[in-house]
A and B are shown apart, each in its own frame.
Chain A
Amino acid sequence: METIIFTVLVLSSMGVLLAVILYFVAQKFKVFEDPRIDEVAEILPGANCGGCGYAGCRAFAEALVKNDDISTLLCPVGGSSVMNKAAEHLGKTAAVKDPLIAVVRCSGSCEARPRTNLFEGAKSCAVMSTTYSGDTGCSFGCLGQGDCVVACTFDAIYINPETLLPEVDEEKCTACGSCVKVCPKFIIELRKKGPKNRRIYVSCVNKDKGGVARKSCGAACIGCIKCQKVCAFDAITIASNLAYIDNTKCRLCRKCVTECPTNAIRELNFPPKKQEVKSE
């Protein structure tokens, strides 16, 4: 009996003593963390894609809480709805930003751009581009090994088995930009999603002279400046034989699309054009 009482006494007094020590140690080494960080992290999508430029959603939440001005920060996955929610929670204002989407600027399908050789090396665009210019005549275009597909954490990009070009799933793409970073040919660009998902872009990155570009790919931009001439809003610039449409200036009038002789300018999600009645 005595042994039991002795044991209980010793153990409980040890417990109390250690609890007191622990209490003071905890006070001494206390780290204050803003509880809002966890709250904001709850609001964020939790995809940890790194599209915001931070290591993950929690790091981004920390940045949102710590910075007074959050107008430069954006969660591309959540878009403005999530940003507004987070900003409201913190009593700050988020900048209004148009939703973006990844576009693949290459139209070199198997038909337009015949394969000139066979690549049997490692299935990776990065490896292929360090080895040589590619398996077609065009040294700028898509290599089709699918590094962007591997990089996408949202399963939003896939290789079309017919054209062997990557295609973006508009529903799933969050514009996190990981495909943009991984493409060794710099083909993928983040552009404004546009009203009703309508957008126009030059689907080519070939900087060769017109003749050379045309010879290697039927759908290449040949830098003929026809689109630049027809554009009423100065949205098109031509640099080193390649047209580029500035999507902040473009008003989606679609004049350039019909003007382009090689169909290198693409329109997406537009209703089919009405047949123009020619007045004679």
Chain B
Amino acid sequence: MKIKTFKHGGIHPYDNKISAESTIETVAPEGVMQIFLSQHIGAPAAPVVAKGDKVKVGQLIAKATGFVSANIHSSVSGTVTNIDLVADHLGIKKEAITIKVEGDEWLDDIDRSDDIVKEIKLSAEEIVKKVADSGLVGLGGAAFPSHVKLSVPPGKKAEYLIINAAECEPYLTSDYRLMMEHTEELMIGVQILKKAIGVPVAYIGVEVNKPKAIEKLNSLRSGYEGIEIVPLKKKYPQGGEKQLIKAVTNREVPSGGLPIDVGAIVHNVGTTFSVYEAVQKNKPLIDNVVTVTGKDISVQRNLLVRVGAPVSRLLEIAGGIPESTGKVIFGGPMMGKAASNPNAPTQKSTSAVLLMLDGESHRGKPSPCVRCSRCVSACPMNLEPYLLKRLSERKLFEESEKNSAHDCIECGCCAYSCPANIPLLDYIRLSKTEVLKMKRNRK
């Protein structure tokens, strides 16, 4: 068994998967849910319900506006009490629909049984339409609308379907739990995706620090045609889309390009599971698995949470915020963002709530760059972080563009490896935003 990986850069943080053995528990909805209209990359959805309306679980409450956008469905049954601005975990106010939970009444056409439906009845076009209707977005973190990825643009050809099960981010275990507990559904999900884009073989990339998952996937693989399990080296950011493509296919996505430019389509494990639920069970994306973890939490949790539940409730289930907590992070420690508002609701792409110990959560005092070039060796995108930081500091964004600041995947390897504690990513992220803005204005 050959272990694959990407070539340049990467780091080896300790994986801390302390919640790996906690089985997925369902959180019953209660109280008030706040569902954002923009939980994805692209245009925000437009609400189709009004204040005072009664809604059921799975009912469409906001419609996608444009191709790169996603439908939003009610995750609970109850009354719409408000459509107003709500602060997300970063304190940024976004439009959200507030629903007061009353009972748990589902739409009739959603199959809620535990039966596994193997037979795929829909055609390729119907699958893509179903995925779009169900409001599916990439659950790996970026929340890119899934149907856009499945619609291969004319002139391009999909050759590889890669399922991203690397879960290289420390602490996160939601994908791992899905692989362990819903293996069969995942396999069917992969078959559906294969049918939708018309490729004969799908590759599931799993990091080797999850031997049980690899074993489980391998044991079930024989029942399905055209599924390859690709063991990947444990290295961060192995689950970065471009890194994963490089590892599995040895092809490099060109600067500014999309995976489809090299014939690859990547979907996350969480998304694949949702595709199964949407296509076979007619269930839109209304819940996702959220890991609630931290070194001092009494019980580690993997919770199946309805979209829009307040995070404070999840923390309550996990036994409250311990005294030793320094910061609350939405997502993993590498790419997640520290929440300035821990009362924010969860979103479709919320993969974890991490409570970092106070001792681990502070940054060191920055000192001048010593030109050790560790950031250059660590960058998986072959960029020069020290240079980009200096350009960004001086607001030389045109120069940043020449040095490909927009190719940064914000993995944080540069800042992690910097012995001088320089907040490299902070500056590069600024350049990236400005460069992308410049590029948009030029069009």
Contact = CB atoms under 8 A, between A and B. Distances in A.
A121 B92 contact: no
Interface string B293-304: 000000000000
Contacts of A208: 93
Contacts of B430: 124, 126-127, 130
Nearest to A120: B363
Interface residues of B, number: 17
Interface stretch (A133-141, A152-160, A197-205): A133-141
A132 B327 CA distance: 15
B91 interface: yes
A134 to B, nearest CB: 7
Contacts of B91: 132-134, 137, 139
Interface of B: 87, 90-93, 337-338, 340, 362-363, 393, 423, 426-427, 429-430, 433
Contact of A120 (B362, B427, B433): B362
B87 A133 contact: yes
Contacts of A133: 87, 90-93, 340
Most buried by B among A131, A135, A137: A131
A208 B433 CA distance: 26
A135 B90 CA distance: 10
Contacts of B92: 132-133, 139
Contacts of B429: 127, 130-131
B340 A116 contact: yes
Given A117-B340, A132-B92, A133-B340, 6 more contacts: A122-B423, A127-B427, A130-B433, A131-B426, A133-B87, A137-B91
Across the A-B interface, give the 8 residue pairs with the lowest CB-CB distance, nearest first.
A133-B91, A132-B90, A122-B426, A122-B423, A120-B363, A117-B340, A121-B426, A127-B426
Interface string A158-192: 00000000000000000000000000000000000
A130 B410 CA distance: 13
A132 B340 contact: yes
Most buried by B among A124, A127, A135: A127
A8 to B, nearest CB: 55
16 contacts: A117-B340, A120-B363, A121-B363, A121-B423, A122-B423, A127-B426, A127-B429, A127-B430, A131-B429, A132-B92, A133-B87, A133-B340, A139-B87, A139-B91, A139-B92, A139-B93
Interface of A: 116-117, 120-122, 124, 126-127, 130-135, 137, 139, 208
Nearest to A134: B91
A208 B87 CA distance: 11
Contacts of A126: 430
B337 A132 contact: yes
A143 to B, nearest CB: 12
A117 B326 CA distance: 10
Contacts of A132: 90-92, 337-338, 340
Contacts of A137: 91
Contacts of A124: 393, 426-427, 430
A134 B93 CA distance: 12
A149 to B, nearest CB: 15
B418 to A, nearest CB: 12
B93 A122 contact: no
Contacts of A127: 423, 426-427, 429-430
Contacts of B433: 130
Contact of B90 (A116, A121, A131): A131
Most buried by B among A122, A132, A135: A122
Contacts of A116: 340
A139 B426 CA distance: 19
Most buried by B among A134, A135, A139: A139
A133 B433 CA distance: 16
A70 B251 CA distance: 60
B84 to A, nearest CB: 9
Given A120-B363, A124-B430, A126-B430, A135 B423 contact: no
B340 A135 contact: yes
A127 B423 CA distance: 10
A124 B87 CA distance: 23
Contacts of B427: 122, 124, 127
Contacts of B337: 131-132
A134 B91 CA distance: 8
A247 B426 CA distance: 38
Contacts of B93: 133, 139, 208
B411 to A, nearest CB: 16
Most buried by A among B426, B427, B433: B426
A116 B341 CA distance: 9
A269 B85 CA distance: 39
A231 B296 CA distance: 58
Nearest to B432: A130
A208 B84 CA distance: 11
A135 B341 CA distance: 10
Nearest to A139: B91
Nearest to B93: A139
Nearest to B423: A122
A110 B277 CA distance: 50
Contacts of B90: 131-133
A182 to B, nearest CB: 9
Contacts of B393: 124
Contacts of A117: 338, 340
A278 to B, nearest CB: 44
A19 to B, nearest CB: 45
A135 B338 CA distance: 12
Nearest to B85: A208
